[in-house]
Amino acid sequence: MMSGEIWTIGRILKWTEQYFGRKGIESPRLDAEVLLSHVLGKQRIYLYVHFEEPLEKGELAAYKELIQKRVQRIPVAYLVGHREFMGLRFRVSPATLVPRPDTEILVQAALERLKKLTGGTAHLRFADIGTGTGAICLSLLHFLPGTEASAVDISSGAIALAEENAEALGLSGRVAFLEGDLLEPVRGQRFHAILSNPPYIPDGDILRLPPEVKENEPRAALAGGEDGMDFYRRLCEEAPELLEKGGFMAFEVGVHQANPVAEMARKHPLIAGTEILKDLAGIERVVIAWRGGSTE
């Protein structure tokens, strides 16, 4: 970037797009716009109608700093501090995974099924295991008034972040956040649904992930053991007995994991049937397993 020239919004966006492109950033224009609108404290649309507006010195300095961090492959969401999920804003931090659009498939599926359970009349309770930012449980609580949730994570940083998100979304009164190992903190409780997007990347595949993920997101949020299935093995064994009759468990899964996970779930004597749902790219992304009987 040359000094002494006038940097307008339009010009700096073009420059950044090219620079990010040369550095191998996947969505150079979008990232440039999101970072600049963050610095200016404006919506992205503002940039389009103010291409000729020059940046102030302080704005330019702050933007340059973000550009340098972005080329070090720090995810945009960490740089701006938030990410949208199910139309809601979640604070993010390096304590946990940035919520992914794929996970909205799990939330949609749970939303539809929870609404149908008992015709929406009973007081529904669900659990979110490995809650991270709280994306899954908080978006469900938002769209399903009257429900309550317990959410578990092994990371104290993630629990603190999820609590902040609950507060910001006005949902704190309906969710208990618990630090601990998988189902340990909720043992003895009963839920109409148990949901999880656990770590599921096979150990050997971690090195093949993009630098944004493998160098910045916590390994404990990604690594699922040698075959990526460690968490499903435990959940399929332990979760069914915490389900109410007629309830279900629903897990996000990685590529080629849906069938083995569904099979694992069906081995449990309390599980009466399973479903597999695809994401928008046609990849089998969600496994649902139903406990037999009807809800009371």
Task: Check residue 198 for interaction with ligand SAM (CB under 6 A).
Answer: yes
213 binds, among ligand SAM, ligand GLN, none (CB under 5 to 8 A by kind): ligand GLN
Alpha-carbon distance of 239 to 175, in angstroms, equals 19
Among 28, 132, 202, 228, binds ligand SAM (CB under 6 A): 132
- Quick check: 221 and 132 in contact, CB under 8 A? yes
- Quick check: 240 and 189 in contact, CB under 8 A? no
- Quick check: 133 and 158 in contact, CB under 8 A? yes
Among 13, 77, 110, 152, binds ligand SAM (CB under 6 A): 152
- Quick check: 107 and 136 in contact, CB under 8 A? yes
| 3-class secondary-structure state, position 290 | strand
Which residue's beta carbon is nearest to the bound ligand GLN? Answer: 200
Output the smallest distance, CB 268 to ligand SAM, in A. Answer: 20
Q: Judged by CB under 6 A, which stretch of 19-27, 34-42, 96-104, 170-178 contacts ligand SAM? A: 96-104
195 binds, among ligand SAM, ligand GLN, none (CB under 5 to 8 A by kind): none
The end-to-end CA distance of the chain, in Å, is 66
Pairing of strands 271-278, 243-252: unpaired
Task: Check residue 253 for interaction with ligand SAM (CB under 6 A).
Answer: no
Q: Rank residues 130 and 202 by Cβ distance to ligand SAM and give the closer one.
A: 130
Query: What contacts 24+ positions apart, CB below 8 Å, involve 204-213?
Result: 210/26, 210/73, 211/73, 212/73, 212/74, 212/75, 213/75
Task: Check residue 265 for interaction with ligand SAM (CB under 6 A).
Answer: no
Q: Judged by CB under 6 A, which stretch of 16-24, 29-37, 56-64, 196-204 contacts ligand SAM? A: 196-204
For 115, 138, 184, the CA distances from 111, given in Å and listed in that order, are 6, 12, 25
137 phi and psi angles, rounded to 5 deg? -70, -35
Task: Check residue 242 for interaction with ligand SAM (CB under 6 A).
Answer: no
Among 16, 147, 197, 257, binds ligand SAM (CB under 6 A): 197
Output the smallest distance, CB 79 to ligand GLN, in A. Answer: 18
Task: Check residue 30 for interaction with ligand SAM (CB under 6 A).
Answer: no
Angle between helices 28-40 and 9-22 (to 10 degrees): 140
Q: Rank residues 28 and 99 by Cβ distance to ligand GLN and give the closer one.
A: 99
The DSSP 8-state label assigned to residue 126 in this structure reads: E
Among 28, 199, 202, 228, binds ligand SAM (CB under 6 A): 199
Binding site for ligand GLN (CB under 6 A): 97, 100, 102, 197, 199-201, 209, 213, 222
Q: Which residues bind ligand SAM (CB under 6 A)?
A: 96-97, 99, 103, 130-133, 135-136, 152-155, 158, 181-182, 197-199, 220-221
